[in-house]
A and B are shown apart, each in its own frame.
Chain A
Amino acid sequence: MTELKGGALLEARQVVVRFGGLEAVGGLDMAVARGAIHGLIGPNGAGKTTVLNVLTGFIRPTAGRLVFDGEEIGGLNVNGFARRGLARTFQNIRLFGAMTVLESVLVGAHQRFSASAPALIFGGRAARTAERAMIARAHELLDFVGLRHDIADRVATTLSYGHQRRVEIARALMSSPKLLLLDEPLAGMNAVEKQEIAELVRQVRAQGIAVLLIEHDMQIVRSLCDHLTVLEYGKLLADGAPERVLSDPAVQAAYLGRAR
């Protein structure tokens, strides 16, 4: 692949993932630049979710290296990835059942709390201040993702699908990540909602947070992304600026060939 410009936020080198006999990702190189919206596209089953799982530590790759913000992160636990500044959502929404929206979002801020057990039990001042600050921040973020305040005390899993997606994004943002990884956040939404979420993603970028986005809607991808990586059968098919990549005949063939 092409030489990376110095200072990519996240670099994956020669990543291989095998599930038994199936090679879901085969020697993938990719780099996500700081502050960019990076699209990861490809036909169904191309290995996009698998790549996202590798980039967030959910799957230990069979081979390959991961460098995030100048640091080797391949050996970390999943929570270590999160602590370094990688936050994600899931293709199938995974909110915590039985928790309210506010509580769920606060879990995203877990790493920002540090009060000891005695401080919590005996009501330390610092513990209360931290809690208050995080609750305020959670409300800001609920605002930011376009949810009304009165939703904060509802049990998250009882919300509508679209609202659950937004809660999931707020929860991920709550950790103040450097890179937000979204697995098909627009799936199952109508055109208006899609535009809203796309706008939300732009605002995230405006805050200096890079976004890795898996998406099937080429219209949106074209207008939203700064950079595209295309996968097919776990291999890199194309990589570069959206216009150029999307007009690549190989990419078009991959989509047409699969879609029919």
Chain B
Amino acid sequence: MDYFGQLLANGLVLGAIYALTAVAFTLVYGVVRLVNFAFGELFMLGAFLTTSLMLPEVRLFGTVVPMPGFPLPIAALGAIVITGVIGVVVDRIAYRPLRNAPRLAPLITSIAVSVVLQSLAQTAWGAEELRFPQFYLATLPPVVLFDSIYLSVMDLVVMATAIVAMLGLSLFIARSSLGRAMRASAEDQTAAMLVGIPVNRVVAAAFAIGSGFAALAGLLYAQTYGFAHSSMGFLPGLKALTAAVLGGIGSIPGAALGGLILGLVEALGAGYLPNGTAWKDAISFVLLVGLLYLRPQGLLGRPELNSAGRGSLLGGASEAGAFWLRAVFARVDALLARFAAAGAPAALGLLAIAIVVGTLVPSDYWLRILTMVVIYGMLASGLNVIVGFAGLLDLGFVAFWAVGSYLTSILFVLVLKESYGVAPQEVWWLLYLNLPLGGLLAAGLAVLLGTPTLRLRGDYLAIMTLGFGEIVRVVAINWMDLTRGPMGIRGIPAPNLFGISLGSPRAQFFFALALAAVVVFAVARLVRSYVGRAWVAIREDEEAAEAMGVPTARYKLYAYAASGFVGGFVGVFYAHSQQYISPLNFSLFENILLLMLVVLGGLGTFIGPFVGALIWIVFLQLALDLPFVQAYPETRFALLGVVLIVLMVFRPQGLAASARVGLTMPGARAKEAA
């Protein structure tokens, strides 16, 4: 009973924090139908700002800056106001221009904003934790309930604050004129606009309030756990989103309920399940996935929110931009269009160029970098099948990559070498077996994970796949016997052909290039057939596709399978080329990065993923020579995020979008023209 009571108390504190953050997601979603992933980062900013304002001095950008040393309430207020302003500015710059764009454009932008804020925070405050300062309330002795449950005074303050904040918000929305305007905009934005409600201002208010709530939750979290850190917002942000979805996104009581449930389930699960603390992150995501499967609208939500507008993922978004910018792109576009129209000869030409480059580049260093370009280009190509062609936003793609990598590593290192003492050189051929095997295994997993998502669209689909990706990662960390957990697997042999090691950077580059040729060829063959036409038809108008006799559910699964196959296939090679893997290689951030590369290059093109990978990885290296970046390596990610936001606003279809892919078999067309 004591133990239970204590867990209950912990769960309530955690639940209060989740609930406050969930309110941010729900409020903004209700008004603009946007899942603003960046709330996790605003949560983190709230924590950092409060901590900083309470301290006498803080190291910012490596220099010590004097700080006011406010007491907690004043520091908190300051942090909440500043974060609220940041939220409004973010909305103004990154989201408002996309108000009429297809739904996924702002979603991707919000992921980019998240990356920008997180890397900026790490640049400013450093990679270390910032300890939450001591203050008077925290030094009071704990309150003892029922002789056995110890609650610190601050725990009580956290809960009380959450309750007061939520009641206040409910009252505000019910009574104030701004609150009524919010409700009206949530119901029907066009109608609200027509009756003279200043929708932009209402949205800004929702962002301000939501960001303030996220900041409040973040500072309470920092206080409870005693630190602030640049990545601290990530998991709580996801869980708060889970809580919001659980309660029914768009509903404020739902957010409160969802947060409470999630906090309790997590605390009790951590306390009672075997090895519960290790698995507690998985608990929330399993809950999320199960819920989305059984009742996507959440406990108190409305079903119609599970929808994505018709049309391309990004296409049709307004193409703004200065005249000169459009002029530049017009040139590039014409070139790309001609390139794409040339089809196979153009692809072979590119391959030839890559071979020449691989032969001539003298430095091993650059060969390694180019190998990474090819690997990321291949992975992005796999993701492109599902996101770019079939139009399904997948944030769990890394799982397939991980499956391939782990399959081959476990077989080579843990099973053959360590259990049976077989030297890797003796079984060099196994790699060539593992490539398709890893692909098939990942494809199987992809179908397994894809099946429950079939009924979901748009934002909910993204959230569910994200949940899957996280579950796979948590499993990889915790299933020690199989994966060695966070230690990772070392000593994976370099690729080998007939006993000749292909470990040299040059050999690896050519190996990767050969695989890339296989991947692109296979994907292109599928896309340039009735299968690809079915995928694009689903992307453009699922109902119309169905009416033309396309079994859309089956073809979505095919897309998952194809994408998973590529992920697993490349994953096998990745493990051998890195010779060491750990769950860190397969984080959600990698998935986001891959998504950004595809979007950067151009969704639904063959060359886009490689363009994106080339630009990003080469930039990553060149940037290392800049003194500013040397001092603050994190700014590179911020820069990528900024580029992506700018791209979303000015050229949402990506850089190489005009390299349009034909969807008919090349041979069949050639005959018909004659």
Contact of A79 among B533, B546, B604, B663 (CB under 8 A): B546
User: Are B529 and A131 in contact, CB atoms less than 8 angstroms apart?
Assistant: yes
Contact of A175 among B312, B549, B552 (CB under 8 A): B549
Q: Does B525 contact A (CB under 8 A)?
A: yes
User: Are A83 and B536 in contact, CB atoms less than 8 angstroms apart?
Assistant: no
User: Are A128 and B315 in contact, CB atoms less than 8 angstroms apart?
Assistant: no
Q: Does A75 contact B (CB under 8 A)?
A: no
Docked pose: A81 CA to B184 CA in angstroms: 40
User: Are A106 and B536 in contact, CB atoms less than 8 angstroms apart?
Assistant: no
User: Are B543 and A58 in contact, CB atoms less than 8 angstroms apart?
Assistant: yes
Nearest-Cβ distance from residue A171 to partner chain B, whole angstroms: 7
Q: Does A96 contact B (CB under 8 A)?
A: yes
Docked pose: A102 CA to B522 CA in angstroms: 23
Nearest A residue to B553 via CB reads A77
Q: Is the interface of A mostly helix, strand, loop or mixed?
A: helix
Contact of A132 among B549, B552, B671 (CB under 8 A): B671
User: Are A123 and B668 in contact, CB atoms less than 8 angstroms apart?
Assistant: no
Contact of B547 among A78, A102, A106, A127 (CB under 8 A): A78
Nearest A residue to B671 via CB reads A132
User: Are A99 and B526 in contact, CB atoms less than 8 angstroms apart?
Assistant: no
One digit per residue, 1 when the CB lies within 8 angstroms of any chain A CB and 0 when it does not, for chain B 526-551 equals 10011101101100110111111111
Nearest-Cβ distance from residue B343 to partner chain A, whole angstroms: 13
B647-674 contacts to A, CB under 8 A, are: 660, 662-665, 667-669, 671-672
User: Are A171 and B548 in contact, CB atoms less than 8 angstroms apart?
Assistant: yes
User: Are B664 and A121 in contact, CB atoms less than 8 angstroms apart?
Assistant: no
- Contact partners of B521 in chain A: CB under 8 A: 121
- When A96-B537, A120-B531 are in contact, do A139 and B672 touch as well, CB less than 8 Å? yes
Q: Which of A108-116, A200-208, A239-247, A252-260 contacts B (4 or more CB under 8 A)?
A: A108-116
Docked pose: A123 CA to B521 CA in angstroms: 11
Nearest B residue to A117 via CB reads B526
Nearest-Cβ distance from residue A110 to partner chain B, whole angstroms: 5
- Contact partners of A175 in chain B: CB under 8 A: 548-549
User: Are A99 and B548 in contact, CB atoms less than 8 angstroms apart?
Assistant: no
Q: Does A154 contact B (CB under 8 A)?
A: no
- Contact partners of A95 in chain B: CB under 8 A: 544
Q: Does A103 contact B (CB under 8 A)?
A: yes
User: Are A128 and B544 in contact, CB atoms less than 8 angstroms apart?
Assistant: no
Docked pose: A97 CA to B311 CA in angstroms: 7
User: Are A99 and B531 in contact, CB atoms less than 8 angstroms apart?
Assistant: no
- When A83-B549, A128-B668, A135-B669 are in contact, do A98 and B312 touch as well, CB less than 8 Å? yes
- When A79-B549, A88-B547 are in contact, do A99 and B672 touch as well, CB less than 8 Å? no
- Contact partners of B310 in chain A: CB under 8 A: 94
User: Are B547 and A82 in contact, CB atoms less than 8 angstroms apart?
Assistant: yes
User: Are A106 and B664 in contact, CB atoms less than 8 angstroms apart?
Assistant: yes
Q: Does B316 contact A (CB under 8 A)?
A: yes
A98-149 contacts to B, CB under 8 A, are: 98-100, 102-103, 106-111, 113, 115, 117, 120-121, 123, 127-128, 131-132, 135-136, 139
Nearest A residue to B562 via CB reads A117
Nearest A residue to B526 via CB reads A120
Q: Does A56 contact B (CB under 8 A)?
A: yes
Docked pose: A146 CA to B274 CA in angstroms: 71
Nearest B residue to A155 via CB reads B660
B interface, size bucket: 35 or more
- When A94-B541, A110-B530, A115-B529 are in contact, do A136 and B672 touch as well, CB less than 8 Å? yes
One digit per residue, 1 when the CB lies within 8 angstroms of any chain B CB and 0 when it does not, for chain A 60-97 equals 00000000000000000111011100011010001111
- Contact partners of A117 in chain B: CB under 8 A: 526, 531, 558, 562
Docked pose: A97 CA to B315 CA in angstroms: 9
- When A97-B315, A99-B663 are in contact, do A107 and B668 touch as well, CB less than 8 Å? no
- When A97-B316, A99-B663, A131-B664 are in contact, do A110 and B540 touch as well, CB less than 8 Å? no
User: Are A78 and B540 in contact, CB atoms less than 8 angstroms apart?
Assistant: no
- When A98-B315, A99-B533 are in contact, do A108 and B665 touch as well, CB less than 8 Å? no
- Contact partners of B668 in chain A: CB under 8 A: 128, 131-132, 135
User: Are A90 and B526 in contact, CB atoms less than 8 angstroms apart?
Assistant: no
- When A79-B550, A90-B544, A120-B525 are in contact, do A106 and B530 touch as well, CB less than 8 Å? yes
- When A98-B312, A131-B665 are in contact, do A107 and B533 touch as well, CB less than 8 Å? yes
User: Are B529 and A127 in contact, CB atoms less than 8 angstroms apart?
Assistant: yes
Docked pose: A87 CA to B311 CA in angstroms: 21
- Contact partners of B669 in chain A: CB under 8 A: 135
Docked pose: A90 CA to B526 CA in angstroms: 29
Nearest A residue to B531 via CB reads A120
Nearest-Cβ distance from residue B569 to partner chain A, whole angstroms: 13
- Contact partners of B311 in chain A: CB under 8 A: 97
- Contact partners of A97 in chain B: CB under 8 A: 311-312, 315-316, 540-541
- Contact partners of B551 in chain A: CB under 8 A: 77, 79
- Contact partners of B541 in chain A: CB under 8 A: 94, 96-97
User: Are A106 and B533 in contact, CB atoms less than 8 angstroms apart?
Assistant: yes
- Contact partners of B546 in chain A: CB under 8 A: 77-79, 82
Nearest-Cβ distance from residue A68 to partner chain B, whole angstroms: 14
Docked pose: A156 CA to B283 CA in angstroms: 47
Docked pose: A94 CA to B309 CA in angstroms: 13
3 tightest CB-CB pairs across the interface, nearest first?
A82-B549, A96-B540, A113-B530
Can you list 23 A-B contacts (CB < 8 A)?
A: A56-B547, A79-B546, A79-B547, A79-B551, A82-B547, A87-B547, A96-B536, A100-B662, A103-B536, A106-B533, A110-B533, A110-B534, A110-B548, A113-B529, A115-B530, A117-B558, A117-B562, A123-B525, A131-B530, A132-B665, A132-B667, A132-B672, A171-B548
- 13 further contact pairs, Cβ within 8 A, besides A78-B547, A79-B549, A172-B548: A82-B548, A82-B549, A83-B549, A96-B545, A97-B311, A97-B316, A103-B533, A110-B550, A121-B525, A121-B526, A128-B667, A131-B667, A139-B672
